């Protein structure tokens, strides 16, 4: 029995644009030109590629641009295959299933200043947020883009760079800037976010370690190595809505156990950074190992690709 079918919408590739060295911009639209499901600035979607791969990408366009989804994809020769498929095999008119958008920036009247720090192609989620904030004037923002030399998506960033809303830091000329100086002083009215290489996001987390958790957001390119717990024990997953019980073996992930049991759960990164496999939990004591859920969200949700259980039984909202 499938407790939570994957929900996708059918899109077609309406445009492919070269957007920098090894980067392509894909525009996806409804086949009949209807509006697509709404999204927040900087939300993510999962692309269900024709070869069965599922990959997560940030939306580059803003919510007001509601008849298309635009994603930027950098070709990674040594990646897991999704970017190579998109660059080498996908063309205009091809059909791609897309998940409902998730995540993104929550507009808040309490936030007066946004500071975004992006490394290279990590600018993609912040391009959507910057465009939204520039159009609505909801809050001040600065996007610090750290690159070696070439600016990705330069044509799409040009107006924001001219307006000094985007500040480009070229490491080939001056080295990497001091992240603490870029984010400035912490406070309840400031929201800071970072997306880039692991060394950058690690430094960012150290710089913002004392900030309120709700005011700090990190997005990662690559999931961290899996946590190996030698003392892990088997436990039971009780699925509230279907009444099914699933046994999770010692060392097995919840995701693998659910899929073995015929439960269809969406998954992409399998490392706790994309949010595709978020599931509600009702009872028990989960062990959270993801890098995306806020403390508040962890009171209600977990990521089945990396989460564990600190007890013999865990009840999920499935």
- Model confidence pLDDT, tens digit, residues 221-230: 777 777 667 7
Q: Where in the chain is the domain with CATH 3.10.20.30?
A: 235-316
State the CB neighbour count (10 A cutoff) for residue 104.
19
**Cβ distance 152 to 123 under 8 Å?**
yes
The pTM assigned to this predicted structure is: 0.81
pLDDT at 1: 37
Q: What CATH class has 235-316?
A: alpha beta
35 closest CA partner among 71, 64, 68, 9? 68
Query: Which whole-number Å values give the CA distances from 123 to 41, 188, 252, in the listed order?
Result: 13, 24, 35
26 beta partners: 16, 71
Number of residues in the chain: 318
Q: Where in the chain is the domain with CATH 2.40.30.10?
A: 8-99
Domain 113-220 belongs to what architecture? Answer: 3-Layer(aba) Sandwich (3.40)
Q: What CATH class has 8-99?
A: mainly beta
**Cβ distance 198 to 222 under 8 Å?**
yes
Q: Where in the chain is the domain with CATH 3.40.50.80?
A: 113-220
Q: What is the pLDDT of residues 9-52, one digit of tens each?
A: 999 999 999 998 899 999 999 999 999 999 999 999 999 998 88
State the CB neighbour count (10 A cutoff) for residue 31.
12
Cβ burial, residue 181 (10 Å; 0-12/13-18/19+) = exposed
Q: To 10 degrees, what angle do helices 124-136 and 154-162 make? A: 40
pLDDT at 4: 44
pLDDT at 81: 81
Q: Write out residues in the chain with pLDDT < 70, as ranges.
A: 1-6, 107, 109, 227-228
Q: Give the whole-angstrom CA distance, residue 116 versus residue 46.
A: 23
pLDDT at 231: 76
pLDDT at 265: 84
Q: Give the whole-angstrom CA distance, residue 85 versus residue 166.
A: 31
Q: What is the CA radius of gyration of the chain?
A: 20
Q: Give the whole-angstrom CA distance, residue 172 versus residue 293.
A: 35
Query: Which whole-number Å values give the CA distances from 134 to 114, 130, 138, in the listed order?
Result: 12, 6, 8
């Amino acid at each position: 029995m499938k407790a939570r079918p994957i929900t996708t919408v059918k899109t077609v590739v309406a445009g492919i644009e070269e957007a920098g060295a090894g980067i392509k911009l894909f525009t996806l639209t409804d086949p009949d030109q209807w509006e697509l499901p709404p999204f927040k600035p900087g939300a993510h979607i999962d692309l269900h590629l024709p070869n069965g791969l599922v990959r997560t990408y940030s939306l580059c366009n803003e919510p007001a641009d509601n008849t298309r989804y635009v994603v930027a994809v950098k070709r990674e020769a040594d990646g897991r295959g999704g970017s190579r498929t998109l660059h080498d095999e996908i063309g205009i008119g091809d059909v791609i299933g897309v998940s409902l958008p998730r995540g993104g920036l929550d507009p808040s009247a309490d936030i007066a200043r946004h500071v975004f720090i992006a490394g290279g192609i990590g600018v993609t989620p912040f391009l959507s947020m910057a465009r939204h904030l520039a159009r609505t004037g909801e809050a001040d923002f600065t996007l610090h883009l750290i690159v070696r030399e070439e600016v990705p998506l330069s044509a799409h960033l040009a107006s924001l760079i001219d307006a000094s809303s985007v500040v480009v830091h070229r490491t080939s000329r001056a080295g990497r800037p001091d992240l603490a100086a870029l984010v400035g002083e912490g406070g309840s009215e400031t929201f800071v976010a970072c997306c880039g290489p692991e060394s950058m996001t690690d430094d960012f987390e150290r710089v913002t370690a004392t900030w309120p958790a709700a005011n700090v957001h990190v997005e990662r390119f690559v999931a961290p190595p899996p946590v190996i717990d030698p003392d892990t024990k088997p436990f039971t997953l009780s699925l509230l809505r279907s009444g099914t019980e699933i046994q999770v073996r010692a060392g097995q992930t919840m995701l693998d156990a659910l899929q073995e049991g015929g439960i269809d759960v969406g998954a992409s990164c399998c490392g706790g950074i994309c949010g595709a496999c978020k599931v509600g939990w009702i009872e028990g004591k989960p062990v959270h190992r993801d890098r995306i859920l806020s403390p508040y969200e962890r009171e209600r949700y977990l990521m089945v690709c990396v989460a564990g259980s600190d007890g013999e039984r865990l009840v999920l909202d499935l």
